[in-house]
Structure 1
């Protein structure tokens, strides 16, 4: 299995603390390898105490890349086995279960309501409409069917931002209410079956681990070019691979034109998204991939209408770039607003008046 991963900068790394090596950094996130070996639980505590968390990866194909001179490395990642394989998106226990079990608890499966009003399991990357719930004053739930097509993770993010969470069914009354809602296609609810989770709680749709007898995972770089994640017992000892967030990437599930999006990001966050490196780009790609959207999303790229050069709205010049075709769009044929394509994740100029989803950033304190 091929996986392009974070291969560590061991010789030229910048020291972040006396005992740590700064692996690679960007505008959004830094990665740090500890030089201390410990068990998984201690590694989790270490990363949370000194940085943000143990390493999270979003899928098996796309992760951070960097040159390395190390012949072999074994480092803890944040993926570990859950106490329960069946869980609701909002954290509620699964006590009411009028459905069949998922096919395999070590592979992510998510629950859908079919057009025949049955609850079945699908792979979580499938794009479907979904149902949110809105918790009103008191304890009553109001269910809302959303006709957007997203993956389960994207649907969860949408519901959390616009309502409360994906639909939760805790009793027969709520089950009957959901079953009465008619839809021309199956739709997601907030039930997921997966025996694994990331330490930071990040949503993922992919199966990383095939060994079902172990409870923790480590990252192995075994020949400078190839690497993978493997399961093992949690005693180790291995070094920790931590990350430190400098910015939080916020996907906004409201459609606005570019100027409206810019104003929204400055009013509610710290501005529109800035991408300054390959590592920023890969993190944004992972976030957008898990959102399950299609088309383009606005980011903080704009072109000077006078001089024609491109800038980030954070006033950072565009040095590293990922333009479609390899070249920045030029006047007079270009539009003046920049977006990221959600298929190839290339940058392009787009009509500023078109309403799209967009991405803000929030500075971590």
Structure 2
């Protein structure tokens, strides 16, 4: 008989409202994406754009009382963007700097810099060395050459894990500096420029994305973006993995609530402690695993922390077990039990309007 284990996490951290980010406004009226866009432009600035994880956290906070899907401003389109999405990293005009070789760009969605400093575009599935940008204050390295062959997306993941992001080239001075770093190697390298098939309603150049695994769908009619305002679960390797306010694409003609943004408002609010309790279920591969062992519990909790961080949870957020009244972390449910059936109904309600 399959054993399902229910566990409860307490997620807490300080949230500090920022004076330089979007001010979000949640609209509960159901509208299609185009009508929602028109409403936001008439009453605020535009449909919600998300520049980075801090923006995402603010957007989630603004819709915390709502548990379903809502429109945001991302719609299918074609434009070149930098992997590093933070607008504050670029001065005026720097996101548009290009140093294409003659006859480029052509086919191919990801950009390479040759040893001559000129750029070409090629398939993102090709494998090349790459340059990471490291903006951490505890290192003197700005550009880090990684001499491993990886696809563009794998190179991006590597740079984000160990440094800051794939390198952005903002001007000719930076282009020359990077060219010197790779010229002796004789091989082209990935840089952070890529062809993005999604565009924000306000035409901002943010490349931040928080897609649910398997999304965006390649269906021709699924051209507008919904964000989950609640936690979502995805079955991965025998576990239900928690994803933090993920996005999916859907037909633009469907009716949903939506979020607008307006001009940033100066605030002097003090940091606020936010707590969120999440209950998930897990099917262990090893049915003989001793879940009462503190080392096993710590290992599982660390894996969950890593998954949450990958999905955009702030690094200073604390994730701990919330013990049940009997002092235990895990609660076993057998197949067919009334409580298990109620939990499954609850989870289905959390996935309202869309089967993920």
- Greater helix proportion: 2
**TM-score (structure 2 length as normaliser):** 0.40
**TM-score (structure 1 length as normaliser):** 0.40
